[in-house]
Structure 1
Amino acid sequence: MNSTDRTPADLLRSALAADPGRPLVTFYDDATGERVELSVATFANWVAKTANLLQGDLGAGPGDRVTLLLPAHWQTAVWLLACSSVGALADVDGDAAAADVVVSGPDTLDAARACGGERVALALRPLGGRFPQPPAGFADYAVEVPSQGDRFAPFAPVDPEEPALIVAGREFTGAEVVERARDEATGLGLTGPGSRILSGLGYDTWEGLNAGLYGALATGGSVVLCRNLGALDEEALAKRIESERVTAVAR
């Protein structure tokens, strides 16, 4: 992280420059047993490919609204940073009818069909797998993203003072996301590089987004993002905290 970083995408670029090989997001789904660990470099590559898809194929740019109908998941984190890279407004669990682009998981396809613009569906299968049969009216993310470029450059400059995120009805600029993530880091137990937070919170609140993504980015830390954490008993949770070298917990 650098003091000059003004958007979440800036934070990711700084993390990549500082230590590309360190873990950034470790994802568990305790309903399926899935575990995925992404280094800064791997995560940034997914973000670049997704931003290229968003900007090039889907035609999104600054001021466009991208509604994300997705759970707390590593691919959701990728989409949030891709929106920041392009300059699009990421509307978490927003109204698909108001969106220029909607990005849906497998459980929200009906709601996503209200979008009159571009529609993308994520199967949320282990290892980023595709749908066995693509949903009608949607592009399958897992099919479209691999061929995208590994480097991204926005067609237009991203203004950190423009709206970048809507969550739980509240709007934030890119600069506000960065500032608030930094200001609240200590309260989350994120004290700087080496901090590692385990989050079982959803991505449908600011608190969940900060604990599950932005706080770690803003402090040089990392996140263990757990979906369906309630499936674990306390003993199993304690073992995960120890094995993942967790320094803070949000649940």
Structure 2
Amino acid sequence: MTSKPGVPADLLRAALAADPARPLLTYYDDATGERVELSAATLANWVAKTANLLQDELSAGRGDRLALLLPAHWQTAAWLLACAATGVVADVGGDPRDADLVVAGPDQLAEARACAGERVALSLRPLGARFPEPPAGFTDYAVAVPGQPDTFDAYDPPGPDDVAIGVGGRDLTGAQVIALARADAAERGLDGDSRLLSTADYAGWPGLSAGLFAPLAAGASVVLCRNSGHLDPAALAARRESERVTHFAD
């Protein structure tokens, strides 16, 4: 991936340069029993493929707004960073009617149909599986993304002053995302040896930061847990021990 200095995609590039094989994002879904572990290299590959899908197949680029209707999930992390690499604004929980394109999970397809532009659907099934029956009017992400190139170069790379994320009714530039992530990492005491377990959703900045951006900014790793209400305290404590968790966010 290439981008100008000071944009959120640089955080992943730094992690990749530091140690491509190190586990970077570990994902649990406690409703399905799914566990997925992504190294920096694996996550970067998903991000590159997703960015190529955005740029070449969906014709999206710098300044376009994407309504991101996805929960805290490892594929959501890939979309957030792919948007950062292309300059597409990831409008988290945004109104599809106001968006140039929309990306939605299975529970929000009806809402996503309000978007007049391109629509992408994610099944959120274990191992990134496709829909058993493709939803009408949507591109199935699991079908479209595997054939995309493994490296990405933006035609019109974003800069630090370009809006990168919309969240909670506020637009954040790339520089603001990095500054906030670094401040959150410092406040939490994260460093390169830290491993943060987050049960927070991606609906607001605190969850986005704890579940992705602050660990990236610190060179740390993250254990992202969805549907953790299914766990009793003893099971959650056991996970923290088995995953060598040093920090916790909910």
Which bin holds the TM-score, normalised by the shorter protein?
over 0.9
| 2:245 alignment partner, SS class | coil
Superposed displacement of residue 247, structure 1: 0.4
Query: 1:62 matched to which residue of 2?
Result: 62
In 1, the alpha carbon distance for the partners of 2:218 and 2:248 equals 16
Residue 221 of structure 2 corresponds to residue 222 of structure 1: yes
1: distance between equivalents of 2:171 and 2:228?
A: 28
Matches within 5 A, 1:86-105: 86-105=86-105
Question: One-letter code of the match for 2:91?
Answer: D
Question: Any gaps of 5 or more consecutive residues in structure 2?
Answer: none
Once the two structures are superposed, residues 129-163 of structure 1 have per-residue CA deviations (whole angstroms, 9 ceiling, x without a partner) of 00000000000000000000000000012111011
CA contact (8 A) 1:71 1:202 kept: yes
Q: Per-residue deviation at 1:186?
A: 2.6
C-alpha deviation, 1:7, in angstroms: 1.3
TM-score (norm 1): 0.97
Alignment of 1:123-202 (within 5 A): 123-190=123-190, 192-202=191-201
For normalisation by structure 2, the TM-score amounts to 0.97
User: Against the structure 1 CA distance between its residues 238 and 5, is the aligned structure 2 distance closer, same or farther, given a 3 Å change threshold?
Assistant: farther
Question: Does structure 1 residue 209 correspond to structure 2 residue 208?
Answer: yes
CA distance in 2, matches of 1:234, 1:188: 22
Q: Distance in 2 between matches of 1:215 and 1:184?
A: 6
Which residue matches 1:13?
A: 13
- Render the CA deviation track for 1:154-199: whole Å, top value 9, x for unaligned: 0012111011101111110011000110011132341x11111000
Query: What is the rounded CA distance, in whole Å, between the counterparts of 1:202 and 1:8 in structure 2?
Result: 19
Shift of 1:64: 0.2
Q: In structure 2, the residue corresponding to 1:45 is in which secondary structure?
A: helix
What corresponds to 2:247 in structure 1?
Answer: 248
- Percentage of identical aligned residues: 64
* Alignment of structure 1 residues 14-93 onto 2, 5 Å: 14-93=14-93
Deviation at 1:53, TM superposition (A): 0.1
Q: Following the alignment from structure 1 to structure 2, what is the Cα–Cα distance between the partners of residues 184 and 235?
A: 28
Measure, in 2, the Cα distance between the counterparts of 1:68 and 1:157. Answer: 21
**Counterpart amino acid of residue 37 in structure 2:** E
3-state DSSP of counterpart to 2:90: strand
1:240 to partner: Cα distance: 0.2
State the number of aligned residues.
247
Query: Residue 27 of structure 2: SS of its match in structure 1?
Result: strand
Cα distance in 2 for residues equivalent to 1:8 and 1:247 = 24
CA distance in 1, matches of 2:244, 2:15: 20
Contact 2:96 2:115 in 1 (8 A): yes
Stretches of structure 1 lacking an aligned partner (at least 5 in a row): none
CA distance in 2, matches of 1:36, 1:184: 25
d(CA) in 1 for partners of 2:216, 2:239: 21
- For the 8 Å contact 1:5–1:11, the answer to whether it is kept is no
User: Any conservation in 1 of the 2:163–2:172 contact (CA below 8 Å)?
Assistant: yes
**Cα pair 2:5 2:160 within 8 Å, conserved:** no
2:5/2:159 contact within 8 Å kept: no
Q: Distance in 1 between matches of 2:189 and 2:207?
A: 14
* Conserved? CA contact 1:68–1:103, under 8 Å: yes
| CA drift at 1:5 | 4.9
State the distance in 1 between where 2:13 and 2:197 align: 23
How far has the Cα of 1:35 moved from its partner?
0.3
Runs of 4+ in 1 over 6 A off after TM superposition: none
The 3-state SS of whatever aligns with 2:154 is: coil
SS in 2 for 1:108: helix
